[in-house]
Amino acid sequence: MARILTLSGSPSPVSRTARLLTVAARQLETRGHHVTALEVRRLPAEVLTGSDVAHPAVLEVADLLQHADGVVVGTPVYKAAYSGLLKCLLDLLPQYALAGRTVLPLATGGSPAHVLAVDYALRPVLTSMGAAHVTQGWFVLDRDILTAQDGTTELSPAAATALEGVVTGFADALPTPVG
């Protein structure tokens, strides 16, 4: 099946965005896809704030993208835009780092006022980086990302249904692996 990279742009170690990506990854793995997770916050700060596009950490991320069939990009919304941390990484990657990739944009935030950030802030940058197809994205309210009794992440029923729909659309849009 397809190789998927999840990319969390949250700076928080207790990130709802990363938790949402974990739920999406489980849904994709259930469909037989191989998922690799990357949290941008784990990259060295000096790499993200520098301009060394040839730094090994940047080259490693570019390599992960090159070998992925699809990418799920998750970000918290701050001031009606995707995170600055995600922006720092995207600025260091090659202009067409997403060329030929199917991309699912996901965002989290505390207010429905930020729902348009997916289409008006995140989608344009993903498209400008050459994504072959940016599927229907989704915005999830922080309050809809819950912790189950066993400590795993679950979503409110409405958020779970919506995420299942966009993950299905993403999975259906992935290229069929050859071989």
Query: What's the alpha-carbon Rg for the chain, to the nearest Å?
Result: 15
pLDDT exceeds 60 at position 179: no
**pLDDT tens-digit series, residues 123-152:** 999 999 999 999 999 999 999 999 999 999
The Cα angle at residue 146 between residues 144 and 150, in degrees rounded to 5: 160
The candidate with the shortest Cα–Cα distance to 104, out of 136, 131, 150, 65, is: 136
**pLDDT tens-digit series, residues 22-45:** 999 999 999 999 999 999 999 999
Distance CA(61)–CA(168), nearest Å, equals 25
Distance CA(88)–CA(162), nearest Å, equals 29
| Res 40: pLDDT | 98
Averaged pLDDT, 58-63: 97
pLDDT exceeds 80 at position 114: yes
pTM (two decimals): 0.96
Which residues share a beta bridge with 70?
4, 102
